[in-house]
Amino acid sequence: MGKVEYDVILNDAIIAIFKPGHVHRKWSCEMWWKGVFGELMDLESVECVSSSDGMDEDEIHTNHHHSEFSSTKPRNGGTNNVNSVGPTALAPATSVHELLECPVCTNSMYPPIHQCHNGHTLCSTCKTRVHNRCPTCRQELGDIRCLALEKVAESLELPCKYFSLGCPEIFPYYSKLKHETVCNYRPYTCPYAGSECSVVGDIPFLVAHLRDDHKVDMHTGCTFNHRYVKSNPREVENATWMLTVFHCFGQYFCLHFEAFQLGMAPVYMAFLRFMGDENEARNYSYSLEVGANGRKLIWEGTPRSVRDSHRKVRDSHDGLIIQRNMALFFSGGDRKELKLRVTGRIWKEQQNSDAGLVPMADLVAPVQGVSTLKKA
């Protein structure tokens, strides 16, 4: 059977089962699915779940008030071919995947898909939020699953939810959600470590957000020379340095420096995150150096992407870690006040046909500043 014929039959079946104003008893629903889809989808048994408390099964409806449905399936590089249903070949008012949109949160529904006695559907997450009452007709929801709609979803292929941001991928319905959690086109989360900020967006938007809302220091250049000061270095728990953002090579980098407990030992840690994806972050390297009194510690590594959370990077110890006693030694004086100078630079790895990757330093004067440790 051809693909077009399959799509037409699929739409006919969906209309027969879900179209408002059409009455179907339980046996009718099962006949459609066993007779029409048994051969196409190799289904042994399909249930159409209805009321179990004696309610007239002829009163099962849906809340989608449209006269036609269609299967809108992207093909041939993203071109949508719409198969109209019905003898009049009218333009469809809604597409099949809209049936799978939860009326409460408007997200796509995944098994288990719930429905009330009148056929109104919603996702499992929202079922708990509405206190077991249908948000459309206010009837009690019970434990009815819409197995027919779950089977419809198996036959669909839909574009990634981030297609408007540039993602060209198309996936089977039940594979789409997994892709979207790692899609390279998904928005970035705010990298600010001092609070649980829920803001998301692209990099230019987040840079402006960090500058305007979090009052983060912004610097241009790829070398830095910062002096971190703390009057009471014995206070370690829940303390964090204010984030600093650097702009060089046309990219943005976040420099973190903070104090926390590593086991029973209080430590200070500095690390760099790249404001972009991991594959781009690998094109850059950075170094951090701290020292005094003829001693110094040096760290070199690759910046982590802001796709990795601040806590994930910190807990992996992927950065320059300084024990508190060593930090106080570097501070000099009576060691009652932390005065730690951290220098460093960022460079881009350039491909060389003879020598492989070689660093390319940015010829910009060191950025200097003083930061004060603040509570998270």
Q: Same domain, yes or no, for 207 and 350?
A: yes
Q: How many residues are present in the chain?
A: 376
Mean pLDDT calculated for residue range 36-59: 40
pLDDT in tens, 338-367: 888 889 999 998 765 454 444 544 433 344
Q: Same domain, yes or no, for 200 and 150?
A: no
CATH number assigned to the domain comprising residue 64:
3.30.40.10
Predicted local distance difference test score (pLDDT) of residue 363: 34
CATH number assigned to the domain comprising residue 299:
2.60.210.10
Of 20-34, 84-98, 143-157, highest mean pLDDT = 143-157
Q: Band of the pLDDT at 212, cuts 50, 70, 90?
A: very high
| Rounded CA separation 272/332 (Å) | 26
Predicted local distance difference test score (pLDDT) of residue 311: 85
Mean pLDDT calculated for residue range 19-27: 39
* Helix ranges restricted to H, the chain: 3-18, 26-41, 124-129, 147-154, 173-180, 203-212, 278-281, 310-315, 324-331
Q: Same domain, yes or no, for 165 and 118?
A: no
Res 68 pLDDT > 90? no
Q: Band of the pLDDT at 95, cuts 50, 70, 90?
A: low
Q: Same domain, yes or no, for 99 and 200?
A: no
Predicted local distance difference test score (pLDDT) of residue 264: 79
Q: Band of the pLDDT at 246, cuts 50, 70, 90?
A: very high
Of 36-40, 87-91, 120-124, 305-309, which range is least confident?
87-91
Q: Same domain, yes or no, for 181 and 195?
A: no
238 vs 73, higher pLDDT = 238
Count how many Cα atoms sit within 13 Å of the Cα of residue 265 in the half-sphere of its side chain.
Answer: 11
Predicted local distance difference test score (pLDDT) of residue 284: 97
Predicted local distance difference test score (pLDDT) of residue 336: 75
| Rounded CA separation 319/314 (Å) | 8
Closest CA to 119 of 48, 32, 66, 28: 48
Q: Band of the pLDDT at 128, cuts 50, 70, 90?
A: confident
Res 85 pLDDT > 60? no
Q: Same domain, yes or no, for 141 and 178?
A: no
What domain range is 350 assigned to? 189-375
Q: Band of the pLDDT at 234, cuts 50, 70, 90?
A: low
Is residue 123 within 8 A of residue 134, CB to CB? The reply is: no
Q: Same domain, yes or no, for 342 and 223?
A: yes
Q: Same domain, yes or no, for 11 and 149?
A: yes
**b/e 226-253 (16+ beta carbons within 10 angstroms → b):** bebebeebeebeebbbbbbbbebeebbb
Res 218 pLDDT > 90? yes
Res 255 pLDDT > 50? yes
| Rounded CA separation 192/189 (Å) | 9
| Rounded CA separation 115/126 (Å) | 11
33 vs 109, higher pLDDT = 109
pLDDT in tens, 151-170: 888 888 888 989 989 999 99
Residue with structure tokens 């009148």? 118
Closest CA to 269 of 223, 216, 310: 310
Number of domains in the chain: 3
Q: Same domain, yes or no, for 165 and 224?
A: no
Q: Band of the pLDDT at 111, cuts 50, 70, 90?
A: confident
Mean pLDDT calculated for residue range 108-116: 88
Q: Same domain, yes or no, for 261 and 196?
A: yes
Bridge partner list, 215 = none
Of 4-8, 88-92, 164-168, 314-318, which range is least confident?
88-92
Q: Same domain, yes or no, for 249 and 361?
A: yes
User: How high is the mean pLDDT of the chain?
Assistant: 73
| Rounded CA separation 260/268 (Å) | 7
Q: Same domain, yes or no, for 252 and 313?
A: yes
